[in-house]
Structure 1
């Protein structure tokens, strides 16, 4: 009998325990609503730490997390396009904590992790080196067919077109020419010299995680070419990439661009990232009436593949490769491939093929040791009128780094080896009528120490040693100091030196293939630079959910032994020599980011700069360098209509332009000019986005106010030009300005106003 009574008693007891536990779980909870821009925010991630339990807000922005033990926690709320919110909460037994949480639209990722400044992952706000970070959402505001074009909306960065006919170019940072800018992919210097403009084309935007930019010398970590700054294009982690992404658009000029990206799991330990970019433009247009194409005809394909292998030790192992092929031509409207290399109809035809490989491998040891390597092979077959240009460039790079924290010190030791092979059929590799291959090995050693005094103060010091057999030992020290007054005010001071060894092709693309003769007046020695940069970052929050970020910099760079092209001594020549004097780049830069609770976001930037060189006691402004510039991006989201509007643009002050002599009637300085764009994006159809708009709203082209842009476009082979005994053009009735054919007078794109329409599709 007792046994029988005990059984139901036990059942009743278990039921009561279960009920009390269930009731406790229901009562001890956190619930609330997530809002942004005054509206509920669905699909926001809400997690509680420690413990990691969480949920996602519903269509009304509401969420509930139950069964939380009594205690103090951190509530983390995150959503794509908004700044993360961390809030400390206290959960009491039997209580329900109700919250209203406001997320602020993200400000170009102030809190993103960056690697470029110190060669190791670090929060941007904690980095002693100022690093600017741009996400794909920034570039989507003005969709372009290549990263080269997309950089036009970044303050202090300007894509410079160097040739009116072939439209090749380079990247200027704070007024310094392309050879001073190092371009990296995933931290590897595989884009260099011959391949700069091509390496920046054909990278699928869907595969880009972020673009990091340093303005100022970074030679201590990256060696030669990182004198004026560097651009690091970081591709997505294969684990975080979408399953499928598509982005395609068509412009009113007939340009067509397709980006495809895919993430594939192969087994349990391998992830594959695939990317395809295809661009085609085959509609010759001559709106300025000079019988030359305003925009180069292009047919380009780029394939990208990245493998990431999961190792039992969770150490990194990734391998990536890219193939790039492009056929481009520009010239007289009557040109066809049968005229390639002849002197009947002028055309510039370029066939380009590139292979790129890079890999990263963390050694299977307890210490954090990383081996990185890259290799690229660039082959170019070009004809400029009847002048052939055949070139091959190969760059190999290997680097071993050891990151070792020791108390308040965070040490980074490294060794690198760079191999460069370059050969062409021009004076760059000519030697008394013969030919030699420019082949250089540069071994390097570097050390960096970040000394964290306290939460507010840190000091980074570094030293690099490079050995070039042509120039001997080269040392580049560096210093960076960060003073974090509080979470919203940070002051950084950076000082260091830079160096650049010479690859003549990088100095002037048109120089080796265009209308002017190249004169190398002496054996060119490496350039040296000393740089100072003061940066201040200020964040301001308001009670209404508005946010402002101010990022201001003052910079000064002094160049000795600078290599500058001399266009002025002889209008038919470009003379290269080391500057007997100095060159200086100095200025102020300001970025302002605004995010308002009503959905309005603005990014506004401006730069004032003075880039000059002093030779024989005479100081003049550097050619093709503006004294001031500005950029802006204004976005507004109408969430009730699933519609967003983006208005982007840039503005550039006057630049000194390359004239062909005193009689040249073209303007010596460019006018104030601006390129402005508007885009509308509709996202109310599932995983699709439809976007469209207008580019170059002002229809600005550089022929405004000039009698012509290309000198003697009617006589591109100089058949009717009379020369004197010194090789200078002589004034004649047929040639009243004593000019020769020259397409290098260029400062802005010739492409006028046009509409565009595109479609995006994404499956996560």
Structure 2
């Protein structure tokens, strides 16, 4: 394997010396991102000290010192400060040592490269980022990422998906360690079962990535990188609870089954069983959940440092929401309504570098997902199994960095809906879909400042035939602190409505599929600019992007043509997703850090009606959004305060009739949180705070959220000869039961308290 050497680009802050209480004091940070560095060694005037958990140090008895101050730390280049200004705090920025990759991304090009070197823009988020607003699941944590929104799809069972740049969840591919492990069926329920204690970082790519990852990566992808067992802490535990009686336990333990094997065992348990009905509709405000997730990852020590890892994850969840009087004896009946889902899921993930001279890596995964669901009287039982194998070869030849791969994905899907029923022979007919593919990528170093990436992928679908997805990327660095990236490419997606769209299963609407659904295609261009600014007392990183995506054959649910139906068909026209986003991350030597993100987007549907183009805004998609975080670390006492928040612009909402009194457009809404953390000795942290400081819920200023929660089986609904609902004194708005009017969490203000313990 080629040995990579990276130097993290950045400019030093102006450093100084501050004499306080008869000594030299200062702070040590990472030069690339401003992170504090505890455990660095500082030597001056014959004395040696180690920086504390806040990265600060004090050397007493050094009045009038003008000699050198030497700072060292494992993994960083030593820094010697020979001249400084007396009376000022000494700020030391250490640069990463050669061969040490601390700011590494793999998602954009499927190869480990430094973030600044990648021609594809990749956003990286560490557990420290998400700890500013701790959550019990990855699904909830992603609300802190600009342009990414966890979207609830049902007021009753609280199923959800993740939107990127305004596109619905099925357009987002979720990977674990680079494997497409979260299949379409589990996208709805499986995102909540990833133990946070095992997450090393999360990488986000916005825009089509089908040329490397295939179907489902048409809108973007999220890659959850788990910790390397060899480098993980010996023990890490995080236990928390809220005033809503939510309890979460997240723990990980490192152990060695044998001399050449290191393993990491993780456990996550979440329990929420108290019923709340604060909007007085006799339905639970938040679905009740009882979930456990087990994760065990093994890393094998091999000759010549060849890779070999394998991981197993098991998730079981029992969730339900509905009538406050419901219990399991009513499951499937037509007297008291609820939606009850049992989920059982097993995953296998691994990679193995072949023992040959050529750099060949075989990666594989398998998952089996069983779901037993009841939506009122509608039973939905499904089994999905996905086997995936990928062999990649990479080689550097002069200025060319080549990557080639062969991929095979096999999907088995069976359920109790017409989707897997042979109407001609009147028998069950599960879907079996083999999907082979090949991809090739060439990253060309044009010169020291420019890179050009060319790539393409070919897949063969047994129904839709040959699918070709090319892409190109160009990176230009005019200076060490400026990066310009231009990306263009295509994407595709093969749709399974019943595994991806919760609305197709709930409520009283009839599902109508018009014709044979063709694969969706997209064409995308993205321009990204990164600017790094360093000054005497602060640093600032700006990451700005503009994008344009054109969709053909897009499949959208039509809620408006007939209030009793959800109609699915390929769009007779096209759809456009376009917008711009800006992320600004900053820090001051005063221990104040933060980020601000803003996204402006427009997702438009264009159809020809009577020879004219009609433009409409996509339902449940906000025009703009923003998020922020502010963190202040106090100079003494080990205290940290975090303030985080999100704000969303209006979005169109699905109404059931012209008489429906609910808002056709959502208001501007914001969720804000505050947290106080106390760092103690021995790796212990105690944290607590308040979530949803404004106590905002979508029920505010809305007559009701769930249509006809008093008659969920539509026993008192009157229809005309055409099947249309008739307004009656008992049903003055001509509605049927429908829980899909949802755009935001229905959980108000609550306090939380937790404790973390890490043993290195």
Both structures adopt the same fold (TM-score exceeding 0.5) = yes
1:592 maps to 584
For residues 37-96 of structure 1, give each alpha carbon's deviation from its aligned partner in whole angstroms, at most 9, with x where no partner exists: 9x9988434699xxxxxx973567379xxxxxxxxxxx98559xxxx87567699xxxxx
SS at the partner of 1:313? Answer: helix
Q: Contact 2:549–2:578 at 8 Å: present in 1 too?
A: yes
Q: Tell me by how many angstroms 1:406 deviates.
A: 0.4
Q: 1:279 aligns with which of 270, 282, 289?
A: 270
Q: Does 1:103 align with 2:129?
A: no
Q: 2:524 aligns with which of 531, 551, 567?
A: 531
Q: Tell me by how many angstroms 1:487 deviates.
A: 1.8
Alignment CA distance shift 1:41-1:445 (3 Å): closer
Q: Contact 1:42–1:57 at 8 Å: present in 2 too?
A: no
For residues 8-49 of structure 1, give each alpha carbon's deviation from its aligned partner in whole angstroms, at most 9, with x where no partner exists: xxxxxxxxxxxxxxxxxxxxxxxx976249x9988434699x
- 1:73-88 maps to which residues of 2 (within 5 A)? 77=72, 86=77
**Aligned length in residues:** 703
Alignment CA distance shift 1:164-1:369 (3 Å): same
Q: 1:511 aligns with which of 501, 504, 514?
A: 504
For residues 317-376 of structure 1, give each alpha carbon's deviation from its aligned partner in whole angstroms, at most 9, with x where no partner exists: 011000100000100000011000101100111000000001100011122110000010
Q: 1:429 aligns with which of 420, 423, 442?
A: 420
For residues 201-258 of structure 1, give each alpha carbon's deviation from its aligned partner in whole angstroms, at most 9, with x where no partner exists: 1211111000000000000000001000000000000111110000010000000000
2:406 maps to 415
SS at the partner of 1:200? Answer: helix
For residues 612-647 of structure 1, give each alpha carbon's deviation from its aligned partner in whole angstroms, at most 9, with x where no partner exists: 101222110001000000010111111302100111
Q: Tell me by how many angstroms 1:506 deviates.
A: 4.2
2:594 maps to 602
SS at the partner of 1:179? Answer: helix
Q: Contact 2:187–2:500 at 8 Å: present in 1 too?
A: no
CA distance in structure 2 between the aligned counterparts of 1:76 and 1:506, rounded to whole angstroms = 55
SS at the partner of 1:640? Answer: coil
Q: 1:295 aligns with which of 260, 283, 286?
A: 286
For residues 144-167 of structure 1, give each alpha carbon's deviation from its aligned partner in whole angstroms, at most 9, with x where no partner exists: 110001001110000000000000
Alignment CA distance shift 1:701-1:469 (3 Å): same
CA distance in structure 2 between the aligned counterparts of 1:585 and 1:753, rounded to whole angstroms = 34
CA distance in structure 1 between the aligned counterparts of 2:192 and 2:94, rounded to whole angstroms = 34
1:678 maps to 674
Q: Does 1:390 align with 2:381?
A: yes
1:468 maps to 461
CA distance in structure 2 between the aligned counterparts of 1:40 and 1:629, rounded to whole angstroms = 27
SS at the partner of 1:152? Answer: helix
CA distance in structure 1 between the aligned counterparts of 2:759 and 2:723, rounded to whole angstroms = 63
Q: Does 1:706 align with 2:696?
A: no
Q: 1:628 aligns with which of 624, 631, 638?
A: 624
1:94 maps to none
Q: Contact 1:145–1:202 at 8 Å: present in 2 too?
A: no
CA distance in structure 2 between the aligned counterparts of 1:735 and 1:42, rounded to whole angstroms = 64
Q: Contact 1:111–1:124 at 8 Å: present in 2 too?
A: no
For residues 420-439 of structure 1, give each alpha carbon's deviation from its aligned partner in whole angstroms, at most 9, with x where no partner exists: 11111123323436532111
Q: Does 1:742 align with 2:747?
A: no
- 1:114-193 maps to which residues of 2 (within 5 A)? 114-193=105-184
Q: Does 1:645 align with 2:638?
A: no
CA distance in structure 1 between the aligned counterparts of 2:515 and 2:553, rounded to whole angstroms = 12
SS at the partner of 1:333? Answer: coil
CA distance in structure 2 between the aligned counterparts of 1:42 and 1:291, rounded to whole angstroms = 52
Q: 1:404 aligns with which of 387, 390, 395?
A: 395
CA distance in structure 2 between the aligned counterparts of 1:345 and 1:533, rounded to whole angstroms = 50
Q: Tell me by how many angstroms 1:590 deviates.
A: 0.2
Over aligned residue pairs, what C-alpha RMSD do you find?
2.5
CA distance in structure 1 between the aligned counterparts of 2:271 and 2:500, rounded to whole angstroms = 29
CA distance in structure 1 between the aligned counterparts of 2:583 and 2:402, rounded to whole angstroms = 32
CA distance in structure 1 between the aligned counterparts of 2:178 and 2:49, rounded to whole angstroms = 35
Greater alpha carbon shift after TM alignment, 724-733 vs 573-582:
724-733
SS at the partner of 1:551? Answer: strand
For residues 441-481 of structure 1, give each alpha carbon's deviation from its aligned partner in whole angstroms, at most 9, with x where no partner exists: 00000000000112200000001000001011000000010
Q: Does 1:260 align with 2:251?
A: yes
CA distance in structure 2 between the aligned counterparts of 1:313 and 1:62, rounded to whole angstroms = 43
CA distance in structure 2 between the aligned counterparts of 1:675 and 1:196, rounded to whole angstroms = 24
CA distance in structure 1 between the aligned counterparts of 2:94 and 2:652, rounded to whole angstroms = 43
For residues 179-199 of structure 1, give each alpha carbon's deviation from its aligned partner in whole angstroms, at most 9, with x where no partner exists: 100000000001021101433
CA distance in structure 2 between the aligned counterparts of 1:42 and 1:152, rounded to whole angstroms = 27
CA distance in structure 1 between the aligned counterparts of 2:73 and 2:498, rounded to whole angstroms = 47
CA distance in structure 2 between the aligned counterparts of 1:338 and 1:321, rounded to whole angstroms = 34
SS at the partner of 2:642? Answer: strand
1:728 maps to 724
Alignment CA distance shift 1:456-1:664 (3 Å): same
SS at the partner of 2:419? Answer: coil
For residues 675-721 of structure 1, give each alpha carbon's deviation from its aligned partner in whole angstroms, at most 9, with x where no partner exists: 11111000024321100000011111111121110000100000000
CA distance in structure 2 between the aligned counterparts of 1:313 and 1:110, rounded to whole angstroms = 19
Alignment CA distance shift 1:605-1:42 (3 Å): closer
Q: Contact 1:313–1:364 at 8 Å: present in 2 too?
A: no
1:24 maps to none
Alignment CA distance shift 1:285-1:552 (3 Å): same
CA distance in structure 1 between the aligned counterparts of 2:276 and 2:38, rounded to whole angstroms = 47
Gaps of 5+ in 2: 1-23, 60-69, 83-88
CA distance in structure 2 between the aligned counterparts of 1:138 and 1:191, rounded to whole angstroms = 23
For residues 658-687 of structure 1, give each alpha carbon's deviation from its aligned partner in whole angstroms, at most 9, with x where no partner exists: 110111110000000011111100002432
Q: Tell me by how many angstroms 1:265 deviates.
A: 1.9
CA distance in structure 2 between the aligned counterparts of 1:561 and 1:40, rounded to whole angstroms = 46
Greater alpha carbon shift after TM alignment, 684-693 vs 737-746:
684-693
CA distance in structure 2 between the aligned counterparts of 1:104 and 1:572, rounded to whole angstroms = 63
Q: Contact 1:76–1:85 at 8 Å: present in 2 too?
A: no
Q: Contact 2:240–2:247 at 8 Å: present in 1 too?
A: yes
Q: Contact 1:43–1:56 at 8 Å: present in 2 too?
A: no
CA distance in structure 1 between the aligned counterparts of 2:300 and 2:25, rounded to whole angstroms = 40
Tell me the TM-score normalized by structure 2. 0.89
- 1:336-485 maps to which residues of 2 (within 5 A)? 336-432=327-423, 434-485=427-478
CA distance in structure 2 between the aligned counterparts of 1:557 and 1:254, rounded to whole angstroms = 43
Tell me the TM-score normalized by structure 1. 0.89
Alignment CA distance shift 1:110-1:486 (3 Å): farther
Alignment CA distance shift 1:620-1:348 (3 Å): same
